[in-house]
Amino acid sequence: MCRSDLTLTLIGGPTVLIEYIGIRLLTDPTFDPPGEYKGAHSAVVHRKTSGPAIAVEQIGELDAVLLSHDHHFDNLDNAGRALLPSVGVTYTTHSGAERLGVNALGFTPFETRTLHGKNGKQLFVTATPARHGPVGVDVGDVVGFALGVKEPGDLIYFTGDTLWFEGTAEVSRRFSPKVVVLFTGAAEPRGRFHMTMGSEDALEAAAAFPEATLLSVHNEGWGHLKEDQDQLADVFVKFNVADRLTRFEKGIPLSF
């Protein structure tokens, strides 16, 4: 792979623009301005504290959206939802596909499909397990995604909203991605326990994917996120693994 083949741009929160040999994808579209919001299928009110680095009108044509789940507003907001009908396909959970309808395709964890880009290139798209909170806390179905070129999962892994658990560990045993994008932030929407990865989970991922470049997203822009990128980086310094975590700034493309 040439170093310029893969470019990732953090829009804000969990929203990342992926560009690979002309194929363009977007994770969890969130483009609304700061304010208080509630998703259509959840009672949780989310407080957004900062807007996107790039407006939705500037994103351009997309081959697909990788949507970890549709029912939390910090993963799919009003502007993101309005974007979906213009995209070729939205990959998500089975329950999310039923709710979204047109252009949405549901996945079972470790199910793989082939995405054919408008430019004739292709990628393997594999859904990966996710557990959005402690055992026994049911917030609805969530998935992550692994993209592959020569074989499933050999390019990049997006964890989606999850903690580190046996399912994410299984991803590390099955796939060898070059880049791992961790949904961190140690989210505490109810003030009692983490719903997404904190620094401990990120350290587990660093050990499980020793050859991958690690990036962290979904750690800013929302009131329920308790650990930002600086705090996560400080933990990696203290554990002498600072070189494993690459800083990911909003609006600044990273090429690999």
Q: Cα-flanking dihedrals φ and ψ of residue 241, to 5°?
A: -130, 30
Please give the mean pLDDT across all residues of the chain. 92
Structure confidence by residue, pLDDT tens digits, 225-256: 889 999 999 999 999 999 999 999 999 999 99
Domain residue extents for the chain: 6-244
Determine the average pLDDT of the residues in 106-126: 94
Between residues 132 and 203, the one the model is more confident about: 203
- The answer, yes or no, to whether residue 40 has pLDDT greater than 80, is no
DSSP string, 36-86: EEE-TT---EEEE-S--SS-GGGS---SEEE-S-SSSTTTS-HHHHHHGGG
Cβ atoms of residues 225 and 231 within 8 Å:
no
Q: State residue 187's pLDDT score.
A: 83
Q: State residue 45's pLDDT score.
A: 80
Determine the average pLDDT of the residues in 59-66: 96
Between residues 94 and 41, the one the model is more confident about: 94
Q: State the burial class of residue 207 (Cβ atoms within 10 Å of its Cβ: 0-12, 13-18, 19+).
A: exposed
The pTM (predicted TM-score) of the whole model is: 0.94
Amino acid sitting at position 235: V
Range with lowest mean pLDDT among 119-128, 183-192, 218-227, 244-253: 183-192
Q: pLDDT class for 218, splitting at 50, 70, 90? A: very high
Q: State residue 2's pLDDT score.
A: 41
Q: State residue 42's pLDDT score.
A: 67
- The answer, yes or no, to whether residue 189 has pLDDT greater than 80, is no
Q: State residue 188's pLDDT score.
A: 80
Q: Cα-flanking dihedrals φ and ψ of residue 27, to 5°?
A: -95, 150
Q: Cα-flanking dihedrals φ and ψ of residue 189, to 5°?
A: -65, -25
Q: pLDDT class for 191, splitting at 50, 70, 90? A: low
Q: Counting every residue, how long is the chain? A: 256
Tell me the CATH number of domain 6-244, given options 3.90.1150.10, 3.30.479.10, 3.30.420.40, 3.60.15.10: 3.60.15.10
- The answer, yes or no, to whether residue 148 has pLDDT greater than 90, is yes
Structure confidence by residue, pLDDT tens digits, 91-112: 999 999 999 998 999 999 999 9
- The answer, yes or no, to whether residue 3 has pLDDT greater than 60, is no
Determine the average pLDDT of the residues in 55-79: 95
